[in-house]
Amino acid sequence: MLEIAAARPYPYLAPAGAIALVMIDMQRDFLEPGGFGAALGNDVTLLAPCIEPAARLLAGFRRAGLPIVHTRECHRPDLSDCPPAKRGRGRGPLRIGDPGPMGRILIAGEPGVEIIDDLAPRPGEIVIDKPGKGAFHATSLQQQLRAWSVSHLVIAGVTTEVCVQTTLREANDRGYDCVLAEDATASYFPAFKQAVLDMVVAQGGIVGWTASVSQLLEVL
């Protein structure tokens, strides 16, 4: 049994062979200049501090031989899996599917969708393309976790208040005990990240737990 004694709001326990890492959307489109994040008017440099802790977390799971899932938010080239309301929302100059500096924005197979080099998946690690904010919606994630007999998840990635939080809440509703890696997640709005961390652990951990990457690595 793994125990993260310093987790919030109280110690996090997980069977050693039943825990997996889900790394959310560490894509060029969100983390690099010229991608969709920047097209929405965001300062993408605010996400950079989470890359090194995320890399250490990945390395720890790899050393331990534990399952790893990477996700990418993207859509089919014909946009058949992108609701018009999603594509049309906002007032920015670029929308999903439009040509951008790194290919068509959030379209599967385009350079901007790829995970950044520092966190690139390795052979044997699962990569799931998701059309929504949550990693369970319209994907095979649930089936994959069941195949691994996983009951506990460590969740990291970007952005904290959008795809990370949505995935964490989806997982919670499906019965997974989740811990959010505090320094391996980030937001374009730091106050939003802190709000999510506080919401997760409120009311006795109503959605899950949080812990630092160092605390997680101690038990891995």
Known catalytic membership, residue 25: yes
Handedness of CA 25, 120, 156, 186 (dihedral sign): negative
Tens-digit pLDDT profile for the chain (220 aa)? 999 999 999 999 999 999 999 999 999 999 999 888 998 899 999 999 999 999 999 999 999 999 999 999 999 999 999 999 999 988 878 899 999 999 999 999 999 999 999 999 999 999 999 999 999 999 999 999 999 999 999 999 999 999 999 999 999 999 999 999 999 999 999 999 999 999 999 999 999 999 999 999 999 9
**pTM, entire model:** 0.97
3-state secondary structure 163-211: HHHHHHHHHHHCCCEEEEEEEEEECCCHHHHHHHHHHHHHHHHCCCEEE
For the record, the structure tokens of 43 come out as 């300062």
pLDDT at 93: 84
pLDDT at 205: 97
For the record, the structure tokens of 120 come out as 């690139």
pLDDT at 149: 98
Given the residues 163, 177, 178, 183, select the one marked as catalytic.
Answer: 163
Given the residues 29, 130, 133, 193, select the one marked as catalytic.
Answer: 130
First to last CA, the chain: 11
28's enclosing H/E stretch is helix 28-31
Known catalytic membership, residue 163: yes
Handedness of CA 14, 132, 203, 46 (dihedral sign): positive
Known catalytic membership, residue 130: yes
94 C-beta neighbours (distance < 10 Å), count: 18
pLDDT at 47: 98
Q: Do 69 and 20 contact (CB within 8 A), yes or no? A: yes
21's enclosing H/E stretch is strand 19-24
